[in-house]
Amino acid sequence: GGYTIERVMHSPCAGVFKACHRIGDIVEQGEVIAHVGDAPVHAKIGGMIRGLLHDGLSVPDHFKIADIDPRGEQADYLTCSDKARALAGSVLEAVLHYLSLN
């Protein structure tokens, strides 16, 4: 825990994205996880890759391309995160409230 900015990886430049790993892979800090054009993208922290773009996408400079979960093996990339579940619940409540007014 304790990581916020470090877990999100951004493109170092504009170019075509090419992953070196897959979602669920464990990576070490400093390891190359992808390339944007010829520029390597290094993991800022070690952990499990929880989010990753598809190969072949053209990305602008500083575009979010990956997310690394510092919990490593303990991270479950196959399930919804607590944050995503809370957001989905809030959206559902807002929609139900809106529908009850109409």
Domains of the chain: 8-76 (2.40.50.100)
* Residue recorded with tokens 């520029």: 39
What pTM was estimated for this model as a whole? 0.73
Token readout for 86 is 């809370």
Q: What is the pLDDT of residues 45-85, one digit of tens each?
A: 999 998 999 999 999 999 999 999 888 777 677 777 788 88
- Distance CA(91)–CA(87), nearest Å, equals 6
Q: What is the pLDDT of residue 60?
A: 98
* Residue recorded with tokens 């053209």: 58
Q: Is the CA virtual torsion 75, 78, 83, 85 positive or negative?
A: negative
